[in-house]
Structure 1
Amino acid sequence: MAATFRRFAERECRGSSPLYEALALATAGDPDLRSIAKTTLAGQPVPNLFFAAVHYLLLAGTNDRLAEFYPSLTAQPGYPEEAFPSFRAFCLDRRQAIERILGTRRVQTNEVARCAYLYPAFALVAELSRRPLAVIELGASAGLNLMWDQYRYDYDGATSCGERDATVLIRSTFRGHHRPRLPPRAPVVVDRVGVDLDPIDVRNDDQVLWLRALVWPEHRQRATLLASAVTLARRSPPRIVRGDASACLPDVLREARRDAAVCVTHTHTLNQVTDEGRAALSALLDESSRELLLYRVSAEWLTTAYPVVELTSWTGAGVTTRRLAVCDPHGAWVEWLVDQARDAG
């Protein structure tokens, strides 16, 4: 458990969240706080859920000095390296409330800016298949990333694409030598459905507050983007099927449009799935590809330095997987790896 918190601090928080980096390093050395964190649901990323539980209580209005260190709660936060005594006292005083959250909630970060790399990936699927898309998202949370075609995108302040009059604007940058082909308008999506163990209802204020709590305190732009996407989703929430993908996905695939390119997608999800579950998912998709024109777009961060975006295609020649990009965990930058100009030639 101590190593888990240290790894979280050094690998995920450093350079992104000074507050969580400081708190995670201190928690790694505190057996009392680690004993609270151990009550997290099996399979869930412990530091993420632990810090989100505390953030949730603060956002819900719990009055405590700890709030003075959270940029999400004050315009002039205290120094992160001075926050731990208040954090420790808060956790011990509210141990039961925190453990109740840890035992019932899941990490369901609906990071809308990840659509910055989904847009070119789905555009490539549409180009390869020459069909409209039917998108199925695993671990969909509130389904905000299912609405990727309803957003506007700005890359490097120079390239704009997507829905022209969108109320949600996603900004990102490209790194490296290659650039994807970005259609001015998103490919046509004829169907979209999510699968999640515990879907977030965008019309439920408390569930939306949990989504907000999962956004790190310093990340004000992410919080603003989340709020605008929730506002849009409330007009017409995407369909989310409740349940484990192993149980629900076969039926969802059977219902999929035969005239569409069926695209199964997941982002930062497999870290919560066992090796057996991952193998079962791959086997199910292999089997379903006999009846469907099937693609898989994944963005996972398991053993690599940065998240990796991959595209798996099932064709008459067999199954192929290629790496499309590496990217920032929150979509701030994308390094596209495919030379599409050469492929076209």
Structure 2
Amino acid sequence: MKTDRDGNDARYETIDPLARGPEAIRRAFENQVAYCRDNGAPVTASVNRAIGALIDTERGGTVMLRVRKWAGPPLADALPLRLAGGLHALYLSGAEPALAPIYDGLDPNDATRIVAEAIERHEAFLLPWLDGPPQTNEAGRSWGYAAAMLWLADRGLPHDFALFELGSSAGINLMMRRYRFDLGGVTVGPATSSMQIRPEWRGDPPPAAEFDIVGAEGCDIAPVDLTDSDQALRLKAYIWPEFTERFMRMDAAIEAAKRFPPEIARMRACDFVERMLAREPQGGVTRVLVHSVVWQYVPQDEREAIIAAMEHAGQQATAESPLAWISLEANRDTHRHELTVRFWNGSDGGSEWHHLGTAHPHGAWVDWSGA
């Protein structure tokens, strides 16, 4: 991976997300450096650049040996973020103070050596971080759910929504009924909330409608309990250290979970959708499937099953009991996160995805189109 110290030479290249092998591993790390750099995360870019520089060396012990011999698709598996999360956890826990120059943003000349030594000293701690995908639950992304529900309500769907979220992680977005949103001047939610979601808004505001969340359930193959300090630390480790506001939102979410924890089922996404759709629809309520930065981690066969199940159920939807689908996911071609919506209400067949906007991956800014 050839980059200067600022990562300015790192290039993001669109590749097959299922590509495997040594070149795919190198490309995954270079893409991650470019992605972090372009999204205002130079520290995280530096960490990934240092890890990537170890690929063609013999440093890093068993951890880097496993990275070099990664059997799965490194891009789809988010391999760079798995190890970067483990290193951040070491720093946050105080177990590896030598990482401080990197996380303090000093961009040391010997970052690769610092990272190599940290990896070698903490093999037993870091190896489990390679066993599963990152948990990137982020309250700032709930802006997309809120804006999409305003748009759906403006289209005539019932203003009472029952949320069903895929990949809920710790369920932070399931608690959004307790959050306050300011979306380009359109406000919704309790004004006294400790969780204030206020992205920089570009373009026209969303419709000034109203909505209420009358139910919120989620699923995850490995749910996170925010009330457990070790699990909360793991979730914080996946927050890019540059974004201090995200840490404040996480602390607010932890306090909210202590008072009334979210409802999360430990199950596969396709099984959760099947269970959701098997229930008798409630009149006057819009059932809505939601997910943010999750779809890429869902296996292809499950994705196909979910699409088929939603389209079949959509054909049975009515104006009184509609069905909707809100997606806030990365477009691998444009390198942007896009908010898109489908809905079925008896007159709209749901065949069309409506593109409502693009956004920063953690909700710092929103470019609203509302098409």
TM-score, reference length from structure 2 = 0.82
Q: CA deviation at 1:221?
A: 1.1
Q: State the Cα distance separating 1:130 from its structure 2 match.
A: 2.3
Aligned to 1:343: none
Q: Secondary structure, in 3 states, of the residue corresponding to 1:216?
A: coil
Which of 311, 324, 327 is residue 359 of structure 2 equivalent to?
Answer: 327
* 2:7 paired residue number: none
For the residues of structure 1 that align with 2:109 and 2:246, how far apart are their CA atoms? 23
Alignment map for 1:1-345 (pairs within 5 Å): 1-31=25-55, 32-33=59-60, 34-37=64-67, 44-71=77-104, 77-103=105-131, 105-127=132-154, 128-155=156-183, 160-176=187-203, 178-183=204-209, 187-255=211-279, 257-259=281-283, 260-292=285-317, 293-303=322-332, 304-316=334-346, 317-319=348-350, 320-338=352-370
Could you tell me which amino acid in structure 1 is paired with residue 367 of structure 2? E
What amino acid sits opposite 2:340 in the alignment? E
Gaps of 5+ in 1: 72-76, 340-345
Distance 1:169 1:261, change over 3 A: same
| Structure 2 unmatched ranges of 5 or more | 1-24
Whole-Å separation in 1 of the counterparts to 2:257 and 2:128: 29
| Counterpart secondary structure, 1:234 | helix
Distance of aligned partners of 1:26 and 1:67 in 2 relative to their CA distance in 1, 3 Å threshold: closer
**Relative CO higher for 1 or 2, CA cutoff 8 Å, sep ≥ 6?**
1
In 2, the alpha carbon distance for the partners of 1:182 and 1:328 equals: 23
**Alpha-carbon separation, structure 2, partners of 1:49 and 1:108:** 9
How many angstroms apart in 2 are the aligned matches of 1:203 and 1:164? 25
Amino acid at match of 1:299: L
Residues 1:48 and 1:234: Cα distance change in structure 2 (over 3 Å):
same
Report the CA distance shift for 1:299/1:38 in structure 2 as closer, same or farther (over 3 A): farther
Query: How far 1:256 sits from its partner (Å)?
Result: 6.2
Equivalence for 2:14:
none
- Give the SS at the match of 1:136: strand
Contact 2:330–2:338, Cα closer than 8 Å, also in 1:
yes
C-alpha change, 1:154 and 1:82, in structure 2 (3 Å) is farther
Tell me the amino acid that sits aligned with residue 318 of structure 1. Answer: G
CA contact (8 A) 2:39 2:360 kept: no
SS of 2:362's equivalent in the other structure is: coil
Using the TM superposition, give the Cα deviation of residue 161 of structure 1 relative to its aligned residue in structure 2, in angstroms: 3.4
1:74 aligns with none
Report the secondary structure of 2:177's partner residue: helix
**Whole-Å separation in 1 of the counterparts to 2:44 and 2:66:** 17
State how far apart, in whole Å, the 1-side matches of 2:265 and 2:69 are.
27
The residue identity in structure 1 corresponding to 2:28 is T
Structure 1 position 113, deviation (Å): 0.7
Letter of the structure 2 residue corresponding to residue 16 of structure 1: G
Q: Once superposed, what is the RMSD of the aligned Cα atoms? A: 2.2
Shift of 1:314: 1.6
TM-fit CA distance, 1:291: 4.3
| Distance in 1 of aligned mates of 2:239 and 2:67 | 19
Give the letter aligned to residue 135 of structure 2.
Q
